Amino acid sequence: MLKIDGITRRFGDVTALDGVSLEIGQGEFFALLGPSGCGKTTLLRIIAGFETPDSGTVTLDGQDLLARQPNQRPISLMFQSYALFPHMTVAKNVAYGLEREKLPRQEIKQRVGEVLETVGLSAHAGRKPQQLSGGQRQRVALARSIVKRPRLLLLDEPLSALDKKVRADMQLELKRLQHEVGITFVVVTHDQEEAMSLADRIAVFDTGQVRQVDEPVALYERPRTRFVADFVGANNLFEGTFGAEGAVRTEDFGLLPGRPLRELETGTRALLGIRPEKLELRDASAGRGLRGSVLDVSFYGGVSHISVDVPGRAKPVLVAVQGASEVKPGAEVKLHWKTDDAVIIPVDQ
């Protein structure tokens, strides 16, 4: 549906986007994920028509999108601040875009009523934005965006202003809405959990380039670059060289077993990544594993995070276990993992 090909955008000496190419399908929930300043919002603004790229093309259903003015594109953009009119009621806020298009009054009333029912705000139609909670204001902004029935809805950090519990509720609400209205959603976020829980596919951005595009599970379990392995979720990374044994050979820890995500030549500088939940804590007398001592144990409700100091490693190794952990700070342990649970990727990527 949406094809982005070779988009480059520079601001003086800063290259915000460097040859970005993506394809987004009809009805897809697609996330642009990356740290602040990586170029994801610039790309969103180019799609919406608020920025012009220095080179590259953007097409929607095969038609040149860049040739159209912003108000002529079948696209809605929901701003981070929601940008609601404080002097208007909820219903008036939602109807505003349709009134600007001079649609018949009865059709506006019907469409506003339908969309307020969809987002669960029918009972609040007569209220002003300041009389609503943060989550309710976000729903008004969503209703205003989808009432025009765009082909594409762009969301810039849509949940950043909400507290944690409301954010979790609205993630479910967004996903439900997207399925119900059948509009293609493109969301910009720096929140990995948000991207993983919402999106069908995720594009990970770094310094103006796309490092990987994948479904959430594949992105988490099979990162193809150092940046993705380090940025998406917690990870324990060990650097060394790829050995003939099919493991990573390190100076301080010997051979560390894992599975290469693609063919690597022996001697290639490589990185071994092990997710915290894939690590197993064993008694110090156990035969195999990395020896270390427990630094700290933190309980997060359903999960405990255990920091383990491993001699020769500057950063503690993070272990995640279900429920409350019985291990105590100061305990001597060994870390063990299955070969298939650790991934090996080239360091130069």
Confidence of residue 161 (pLDDT cuts 50, 70, 90): low
pLDDT at 56 over 70: yes
Query: Within this chain, do residues 128 and 70 fall inside the same structural domain, yes or no?
Result: yes
Query: Quick one: 28 exposed, middle or buried, by C-beta within 10 A (0-12, 13-18, 19+)?
Result: middle
Query: Within this chain, do residues 105 and 13 fall inside the same structural domain, yes or no?
Result: yes
Query: Within this chain, do residues 158 and 66 fall inside the same structural domain, yes or no?
Result: yes
Average of per-residue pLDDT across 280-301: 89
Confidence of residue 148 (pLDDT cuts 50, 70, 90): confident
Query: Quick one: 285 exposed, middle or buried, by C-beta within 10 A (0-12, 13-18, 19+)?
Result: exposed
Query: Within this chain, do residues 82 and 7 fall inside the same structural domain, yes or no?
Result: yes
Query: Within this chain, do residues 239 and 169 fall inside the same structural domain, yes or no?
Result: no
Question: Is 243 within the bounds of a domain?
Answer: yes
pLDDT attached to residue 60: 94
Q: Domain end: 155, 188, 221, which one?
A: 221
pLDDT attached to residue 162: 66
pLDDT at 349 over 60: no
Question: Is 228 within the bounds of a domain?
Answer: no
Q: Pseudo-torsion of CA 216, 222, 227, 230, nearest 10°? A: 80
Question: Is 298 within the bounds of a domain?
Answer: yes
Question: Is 256 within the bounds of a domain?
Answer: yes
Query: Within this chain, do residues 174 and 247 fall inside the same structural domain, yes or no?
Result: no
Question: Is 229 within the bounds of a domain?
Answer: no
Query: Within this chain, do residues 99 and 147 fall inside the same structural domain, yes or no?
Result: yes
CATH assignment at residue 263:
2.40.50.140
Q: Domain end: 221, 244, 263, which one?
A: 221
Q: How many C-beta neighbours within 10 Å does residue 14 have?
A: 10
Average of per-residue pLDDT across 302-306: 93
Query: Within this chain, do residues 208 and 263 fall inside the same structural domain, yes or no?
Result: no
Query: Within this chain, do residues 78 and 217 fall inside the same structural domain, yes or no?
Result: yes
Report how many domains make up the chain. Answer: 2
pLDDT at 230 over 60: yes
Domain assignment of residue 153, given as a range: 2-221
Considering only 40-54, 152-166, 205-219, 328-342, which range has the smallest mean pLDDT? 152-166
Question: Is 48 within the bounds of a domain?
Answer: yes
Phi and psi of 272, rounded to 5°? -105, 125
Query: Within this chain, do residues 19 and 82 fall inside the same structural domain, yes or no?
Result: yes
pLDDT at 21 over 80: yes
Higher-confidence position of 179 and 280: 280
Q: What is the pLDDT of residues 74-109, one digit of tens each?
A: 998 887 677 889 999 999 999 998 998 899 999 999
Query: Within this chain, do residues 44 and 167 fall inside the same structural domain, yes or no?
Result: yes
| Single pTM value for the model | 0.85
Dist. CA 324–CA 129, nearest whole Å: 43
Query: Within this chain, do residues 251 and 318 fall inside the same structural domain, yes or no?
Result: yes
Question: Is 226 within the bounds of a domain?
Answer: no
Dist. CA 157–CA 38, nearest whole Å: 14
CATH assignment at residue 85:
3.40.50.300
Dist. CA 43–CA 20, nearest whole Å: 9
Average of per-residue pLDDT across 140-158: 87
Q: Domain end: 172, 190, 221, which one?
A: 221
CA 272, 276, 278, 281 torsion-angle sign: positive
With CA atoms as reference, report the closest residue to 214 among 224, 6, 183: 224
Question: Is 262 within the bounds of a domain?
Answer: yes
